[in-house]
A = this chain, B = another copy of it.
Amino acid sequence: MSDLRIAVLGVGMMGVFHVEALTKRIRGAKVTVISDFFDSKAQEVAAKIGARAVVDPIEAINDPEVDAVLIATPGKAHDEQVNACLNRGVPVLCEKPLTTDVGSAYRIVQKEAGLGRALIQVGFMRRFDPEYIALKKLITEGGLGNPLMLHCTHRNPAVPDFFNSEFAMRDSVVHEVDVARFLLAEELTSVQVLKGSATKSAPEGTSDPMLVVFETESGRIVTDEIYVRTGVAYEVRTEVVGERGSAMIGLDQNLQVKTTDGRWGGRLTPSFVERFGAAYDTELQRWVDAARAGTIDGPGAWDGYAAVAVCEAGAEAVRTGAKVTVSMQPRPGSAASATSDGSEPEPGITAPDLMGARP
C-alpha cells in the first residue's frame, strides 16, 4: 500500500514535532503539504522534507495530493479546518482542543455522526502512554475494585505570562479531563476551582497553583492540582483510589500498585520484549538508516570478535574453574574508525540529560 499523504497545518512547536516523527520514525506516512499562518515558516519546513507549502489551509486540506490532515494550528482555527476535513471526507488528527467553544464542538460531533464514519481523532496522546494504558487495564480488569477517587497532578516547570488561570484550565487541565474520562469511562458533571496561595512567579491575578475538583456522573470525585510554574520539571502524576487498592503512575518509577494483601510494588519486566523491545526498534531503525547510506551505526565486527574471544575464554573458565587469560589479536585499523559505539541518542528525540534514563 502506498504511503498516507498528509497535510500538516501549523508548524509551530507541535507541528514541527509531528513533521519530524512523520518523516523519520513513522512507517507508511509522508508529509506532502505544509501550511502555516506564517508562509515563510511553512516554506522552510516544507523545503527540508521535500513537501509543498500551501498558503491557505483550506486549500491544503482539499489538495489532491492529501489523503489525511494533521491540525496543529491554534485552537481558534480548528472549527473551520476540521469542518473542511469533514466536508472533503478525509481523516484528521486534530490537536486539542477540538474547538474553543462547546457549540461548534458539538456541531462537529453531529456532522461526523451524520457521515456515519469516524474521521476525527483528537490529540489526547496520554491514551497511548504505557503507564496510562497499564492503569486503565488495571481498572478495567477490576484490580482496584470500583474506582472511588482520582487524584491528578500536573506540574510544568515554567510557562509564559499569558498562561493565566483560565488558560491553564483550557490548555493543561484539559488533559486531565480526558484522562479522567478515559480511566473512569464516564462523563464529568461539575467542576469547582479552589485557589490558594500563588507562587511569586505567577503574574498578578493568576492563581497558580489551583486545585480543580470534578464530580462524575456516578458521583466520583476527581482532583487535579494544576501548577505550571514549579521551576522543577515536567511532572504528571495520576493516582486511582479504588475499593480494593490504589495505584499511581508518574513517579518516574513506573506503575505502582497497593493491594489488599498489604503490599506495594510493581510488575517486573516479564521478558526481553518488554525490557528491550524499544532498543531493538531503535537498533533496527538506525541500522536501516545507516545501511541506506552504505555504512553501519552500532557495534561492529570488532565488537563481535571481542565478545567471541572473551566468551571462548569464559567457556574454558567454566570447564576448568581456573582464571583464563583472554587472548586477542591486534585490531585492524581501517574499518575501525567507521564503527560507531552506538552511544548517540535516537535521532529526533532530545538527548537524555545527565541522569535521566527515559528516552
A residues 130-186 in Cβ contact with B at 8 Å: 130-131, 133-138, 140-141, 143, 146, 148-149, 151, 155, 157, 165-166, 169-170, 173-174, 177-178, 181-182, 185
Could you tell me if A110 and B4 are in contact, using CB atoms closer than 8 angstroms? Answer: no
A residues 244-293 in Cβ contact with B at 8 Å: 244-247, 249, 252-260, 262-292
**Does any Cβ of B come within 8 Å of A319's Cβ?**
yes
Could you tell me if B306 and A187 are in contact, using CB atoms closer than 8 angstroms? Answer: yes
Could you tell me if A349 and B273 are in contact, using CB atoms closer than 8 angstroms? Answer: yes
A345 CA / B128 CA spacing, docked (Å):
8
**Does any Cβ of B come within 8 Å of A64's Cβ?**
no
**Does any Cβ of B come within 8 Å of A38's Cβ?**
no
Contacts of A356 in B (CB 8 A): 134, 254-255, 266-270, 274
Give how many copies assemble into the complex: 4
Q: Could you list 12 further interchain pairs (A-B, Cβ under 8 angstroms) beyond the known A149-B196, A151-B151?
A: A26-B284, A91-B287, A97-B304, A97-B308, A114-B332, A122-B303, A127-B342, A143-B355, A213-B213, A233-B268, A264-B266, A264-B267
Could you tell me if B312 and A17 are in contact, using CB atoms closer than 8 angstroms? Answer: no
**Does any Cβ of B come within 8 Å of A100's Cβ?**
yes
Taking a contact as CB atoms closer than 8 A, the residue among B115, B246, B298 that contacts A335 in the complex is B115
Residue ID in chain B nearest A108 by CB atoms: B301
**Does any Cβ of B come within 8 Å of A98's Cβ?**
yes
Could you tell me if B307 and A96 are in contact, using CB atoms closer than 8 angstroms? Answer: yes
A21 CA / B311 CA spacing, docked (Å):
29
Could you tell me if B266 and A263 are in contact, using CB atoms closer than 8 angstroms? Answer: yes
Could you tell me if B126 and A276 are in contact, using CB atoms closer than 8 angstroms? Answer: yes
Q: A221-B196, A285-B27 are in contact. Are A99 and B308 (CB under 8 A)?
A: yes
